[in-house]
Structure 1
Amino acid sequence: MNNGFFKNAEKLTRLEALYEASKIAFAPIVFQVARALRDLKILEILIENRDGLTIEELANKSELSIYAIKVLSETAISSNILYEKENKLYISKVGIFINSDEMTKINMNYNHYVNYLGLYNLEESIKNKKPEGLKVFGDWETIYPALSSLPKKVQDSWFEFDHFYSDSGFPTAIEYLKNLNIKTILDIGGNTGKFAMELSKKYPKIDITIMDLPQQIKLAKKNIYEKNLTNISFLEANVLLDTLKDIASFDTIWMSQFLDCFEDEQIEMILQKIKSSKNKDAQICIMEPFWDRQNNEIASFCVINTSPYFTAMANGYSKMFRYSDFEKILKKLNFEILEVVDNIGLCQSIIRIK
């Protein structure tokens, strides 16, 4: 699938290329200034004062010093967050998105609280194939068993980011599954149980089982018991270490943003285990945000730039998929691709295979 994204690099003039390089060199500073402008309510104040404010007026309304406003606003002007006209500061469309757009706010919180400190160790993570950045929060091999123990703002930002991108696809995905006439479904990597709960509430006659690590099952059980849902059960398992002999009774195997937590060799092993353990007539549905199947470059950019999180923070070896790479894995294992459905929620695609 050729979407034509990211084709401008070869067209840049020498001066344009130097400017882009300079933006990248100062990107961490611009990021933190933008976040400070948002969290210190400076952007909000300027939204409420569309006729503009002088530096002195903005300092007074924000209860910050003139020095602080000058430092923050000058970087903001250089990065198109604010603009200046007749000695007054105004918020731009970029600033409005930073302050008010839900996706931008979630991405910014995720990168600040979850990734920022750990990405200092990206080079070390690349060399060692380990999430060396995770040590800023504690001593874990991967982030997944750590999720319930992370500092609250880190945990909240992680789940908010994860749920924002996956949850948007749940309504369409649930209707898609219903049209397959499923009766029993295994949700591998069910995480906190959000997908299972949505499916259960919409179609209570479907028997749903969540399979995940013990720590995640504990979180899912707590969420599900609070909702008093009775058609959801649980299987504690590590798909890398355990056999999957208990999955033969399911007519559908579901994996939503699960396989992107593994490297190619592990994905092959997991799919091979499923293939040899499942009911011979069962179908497998995989939902992932493939960056080369997005319908716009913004979505593709956001998906691609989630990959360094996996390297530095999550596990050291997985990434977001290019569909053409994932397709090669399926063909190598002799799976038949029945269909691929794009534009599920914000950024997901569903692959149905046998």
Structure 2
Amino acid sequence: MGNFFQNNDNLNALEAQYEAQKIAFAPIIFQVVRTMRDLKILEILSKNKDGLTFNELSKISNLSIYAIQLLCETALSANVISIKDEKIFLTKIGFFINSDKMTNINMNYNHHVNYLGLFYLEESIKNEKAEGLKVFGDWETIYPALSTLPKKAKESWFEFDHLYSDSGFPKAIEILKNLNPNSILDIGGNTGKFASLFAKENPNISITIMDLPQQIKLAKQNIYEQNLTNISTYEANILLTDTTIPKGFDIIWMSQFLDCFKEKQIIDILKKITQTIDNSSEVCIMEPFWDRQNNETAAFCVINTSPYFTAMANGYSKMFKFTDFKKLIELSGLEIIEIIDNIGLCQTLLRCKKSK
């Protein structure tokens, strides 16, 4: 796939210093531009393609000249706006920040979920613990806390999660259906989004969601509201040594689940699964591997999700490079029989079976 970030040191000294300053001031630029978005300044500029003076923008936005100047000058330095003949214009970058769904979901996620907690990234790195999670409460990991996070943090987390996973669901459902299973175990099924979509399209195939009790509670509510009869649930913490994985399923399905764990935990989980399946069963894993993206923008987004896992989620997991993840699969007693890329925005689906 893509050979990303290979020519990133071809700058002269002044260019490199400028790029370094962009990083040093990145938190300020982020908050200024997000504020301009949320105060509708970018939207106002998008509707006035002939540009606006500072005074005109001040009147339309009901903000002071001081506020408009301060925000716009930082936005100018970040190429979010341009200024010509004393008029302010929205740039292409500004257009994407104002109108692009992915950009807005990423921005909301980083503001409401990550921003305060990432202050504790250094502690998290040293302690291998999600030290930033304390901004929301006293939990070891974010997963049991999801249903009780502050409203905007909860909404932003699920919007982010669903954007990247949901985009791959239609194609994934088609692939799984064509494998002709009678039953599927969805490990880490979360709120039941995938299971519900699959169940609606395939009423004759049974699907079981396996997850933590807090997530199963949400999944049950969603299943009940949709009156789906071919979904069942199984409450369990897969990391506990006495947790057993139910047998008899044709497909074990995991979507953006294994990236929530340490490498050793991933191997242990996959070994536990391997011990419960027979030679005819398949393990299907869908993950956004950064080195299998079809462009550098996607690779950038996937890579930079990893610090969330460190500071906020659990302190030790990350988004994987495929070549690293493949080794974990092989160590668990599985072999990859097919790799399917370009599923949704960023997903790769791995079909695995027991090693011969």
Partners of 1:52 and 1:288 in 2: CA distance? 43
Quick one: percent identity of the two aligned structures? Answer: 67
Q: Specify whether residues 273 and 4 from structure 1 end up closer, same or farther in structure 2 by C-alpha distance, changes over 3 A only.
A: same
Counterpart of 1:137 in structure 2 is 136
Contact 1:191 1:216 in 2 (8 A): yes
The 5-angstrom pairing of residues 113-152 of structure 1 reads 113-152=112-151
Counterpart of 1:188 in structure 2 is 187
Counterpart of 1:63 in structure 2 is 62
Counterpart of 2:304 in structure 1 is 305
Instruction: Give the secondary-structure state (helix, strand or coil) at the position aligned to 1:49.
Output: coil
Q: Specify whether residues 246 and 268 from structure 1 end up closer, same or farther in structure 2 by C-alpha distance, changes over 3 A only.
A: closer
Offset from partner CA, 1:204-239 (integer Å, 9 cap, x none): 111000000000000111111000000000000000
Offset from partner CA, 1:45-88 (integer Å, 9 cap, x none): 01111100000000000000000000000000000000000000
Contact 2:53 2:87 in 1 (8 A): yes
Q: Give the drift of 1:12.
A: 1.2
Counterpart of 1:163 in structure 2 is 162
Q: How many pairs align? A: 353
Amino acid at match of 1:149: T
Instruction: Give the secondary-structure state (helix, strand or coil) at the position aligned to 2:334.
Output: coil
Counterpart of 2:274 in structure 1 is 275
Counterpart of 1:83 in structure 2 is 82
Instruction: Give the secondary-structure state (helix, strand or coil) at the position aligned to 1:238.
Output: coil
Please, which moves more after superposition, 246-255 or 50-59? 246-255
The 5-angstrom pairing of residues 1-354 of structure 1 reads 1=1, 3-243=2-242, 245-354=244-353
Amino acid at match of 1:48: K
Contact 2:121 2:131 in 1 (8 A): yes
Q: Give the drift of 1:157.
A: 0.2
Q: Give the drift of 1:279.
A: 3.5
Contact 1:244 1:274 in 2 (8 A): no
Q: Give the drift of 1:244.
A: 5.1
Structure 1 portions without partners, runs of 5+: none
Q: Specify whether residues 246 and 297 from structure 1 end up closer, same or farther in structure 2 by C-alpha distance, changes over 3 A only.
A: closer
Amino acid at match of 1:226: E
Contact 2:52 2:89 in 1 (8 A): yes
Please, which moves more after superposition, 224-233 or 10-19? 10-19
Instruction: Give the secondary-structure state (helix, strand or coil) at the position aligned to 1:75.
Output: helix
Partners of 2:297 and 2:183 in 1: CA distance? 37
Partners of 1:180 and 1:38 in 2: CA distance? 45
Partners of 2:332 and 2:252 in 1: CA distance? 17
Instruction: Give the secondary-structure state (helix, strand or coil) at the position aligned to 2:210.
Output: strand
Partners of 1:246 and 1:333 in 2: CA distance? 15
Q: Give the drift of 1:245.
A: 3.7
Partners of 1:195 and 1:115 in 2: CA distance? 25
Partners of 1:276 and 1:346 in 2: CA distance? 33
Q: Give the drift of 1:242.
A: 4.9
Q: Give the drift of 1:282.
A: 1.1
Partners of 2:92 and 2:128 in 1: CA distance? 40
Offset from partner CA, 1:103-146 (integer Å, 9 cap, x none): 00000000000000000000000000000000000000000000
Instruction: Give the secondary-structure state (helix, strand or coil) at the position aligned to 2:275.
Output: helix
Contact 1:134 1:140 in 2 (8 A): yes
Q: Specify whether residues 276 and 244 from structure 1 end up closer, same or farther in structure 2 by C-alpha distance, changes over 3 A only.
A: farther
Partners of 1:33 and 1:171 in 2: CA distance? 37
Offset from partner CA, 1:13-44 (integer Å, 9 cap, x none): 11111011000000000000110010000001
Partners of 1:239 and 1:295 in 2: CA distance? 33
Amino acid at match of 1:27: A
Amino acid at match of 1:116: Y
Contact 1:247 1:278 in 2 (8 A): no
- TM-score of the pair, normalised by structure 1: 0.98
Q: Give the drift of 1:175.
A: 0.3
Contact 2:245 2:272 in 1 (8 A): no
Query: What RMSD in Å do the two structures reach over aligned CA positions?
Result: 0.9
Partners of 1:245 and 1:47 in 2: CA distance? 55
Offset from partner CA, 1:243-284 (integer Å, 9 cap, x none): 454521101000000000001000000001111122342110
Structure 2 portions without partners, runs of 5+: none
